[in-house]
Structure 1
Amino acid sequence: MTAQEILNVLRAAVVADALGVPVEMKARGTFQLTGMTGHGSWDQPTGSWSDDSSMTLCLLANINEQGSYADLMDKFERYMMTGAYTPTGTTFDVGRTCAHAVRQYAINHIEPLHCGDTAGNANGNGALMRIAPLALVLKNEDNQDNRFAVIHNYTVVTHGHLRAIMGSFIYIELLRDLMMGMSLRQALSHVQEALITFVATHEKFASEAATYQRLFTPRFQQLPATAIRSTGYVVDTLEAAVWIALNHHDLATGILAAANLGSDSDTVATVAASLMAFERPQQSVPTDWWDQTLNHELLDHMMQPFAAKFGEEK
């Protein structure tokens, strides 16, 4: 990807987040988004983005600075406690599991790689929502175990259960394959094959990989919307995002479709936007949507150095 294409990808995720924020937690069918709105569920101004983008900015900053996991947790703490990395200086919509991890680090002084909750009921999408930039970091890493180690560590700082780790791994592997020129359908087939090899040598992940198997079934794309759940559960979020990306080739249309699924609308839209944008990085979000997102100064301050660092000349 060129630097501009990376910016397209990063901006698509922020726009999707901001589109979904006002309708988060609303039931599917009770609203119909057609563009950027404001207030709604969190009573935030039009163009406000949530923890999805704020914690992604923390990750971008940490990568730009070549920071440690402790440095990353320091950024998460500043986000949660002081409103750093937010569009207006106000923190809202912090997920329970992410908040627990930050408190473990900041108050209980737990080592970063042990902060993520390992409980079975802590399998939210709070790692999935922020981890997409790792695909660019790992683009040239050919060893699967090395990629997994990095993905594992950037996940467990907030989400320690094997299922959340597996969700991050599948997601980043898909994004990486899309960067290599595969279609999403091709990437799904490739990742499915790679998982067979992976679980053969990492047996404790075998049952968790099985929870994601619906993604790889031949007729997954043809499932009706009624069969797709858009909750904050990591499996539901990844399924909903992949389903949207399989069925929409136009970025703007796909983002709206994702947000209109309701429930955890901002994160489903964020993940779906990343999948669509990684597959077609030449596409950009509508200019008016980007123009309406808040705090471009902060966004550009984090995004532009990252894009320059990992962008390639064509």
Structure 2
Amino acid sequence: MRALRAVGAAVIQPVLERLRSVPEPVTGRSRSLDLRLFTAAAVAWPVTLVALRLPAGVSVCLAAAGAFCSAVIVLRRRPAEVPGRRRRMLETVALAGAAVALVCAGTAGHLMTRQAGTVDQLAARRAIVRLEAVVTSDPRPVGAGLGGHRSLVIAKLSVRQIVGRGMLSTPNTPVLVLGDERWLAVHWHERVAITGRLQPAERGDDVEAVLTARGPPRVIAGAGPLFDAVEEVRRDTRAATEGLPTDPRGLVPALVMGDTSRLPAQLNDDMRATGMTHLNAVSGTNDSVTWL
């Protein structure tokens, strides 16, 4: 995050300083509403949504194009020769180009980091793999299981080592695992070893692949003292809300401690549809660390 802020300062700040150095024309009319930064943000958000669904190389090209467009406008124009309305339009385009360069560079770095390794290749082949991964979300049941199992349980993992089709890599790639009720015994940030079949995730998802587990997970390393302490507080929060109705019983631990293990699937879908999942994914997790 600090690196991204530094890149943002390096890209946006020179553009702003250059634009501020141009005096505004003196007119008898009141100043109109300045929408330059709003327009830049309005362009950057949809570009980011598109870039997340494109290869990282395309994001790099978009970042270069935005930076080039902004640089040409800022470095080559002569303010004294440009009428006021046209100058304002050029300033808006320059800021939009700088914003696009920033968000596309950040998106490209994010995609390159999580796509490193062989997970994507093995998922495209739907290979059976053995992997070690860190549990990054609370396992939770989402429906009836298959093959005699009571529940279908999902969890997000960060793959740290994967072996399949004669290839070994040590990535840091997010995947979604589909397992049975035995996954409910696994805790947040534990390291597990599992075997399963990979398949590609939908483009634009927050994971790179989906793993259908074969057999139970094997815990090979604990979460560590810090996360063990967090889990104790989470356990107490679950106990304190045990008598509440279904939705509050799952929602309160999610909001307070980032514990989504008992969040009903319908409520989770509703929060996703209304853009409120950050309250569980970010706010609750931050609160859990603050408690310590």
User: Scaled by the length of structure 2, what TM-score is found?
Assistant: 0.29
More helix by percentage:
1
Greater Rg by CA? 2
User: Scaled by the length of structure 1, what TM-score is found?
Assistant: 0.28
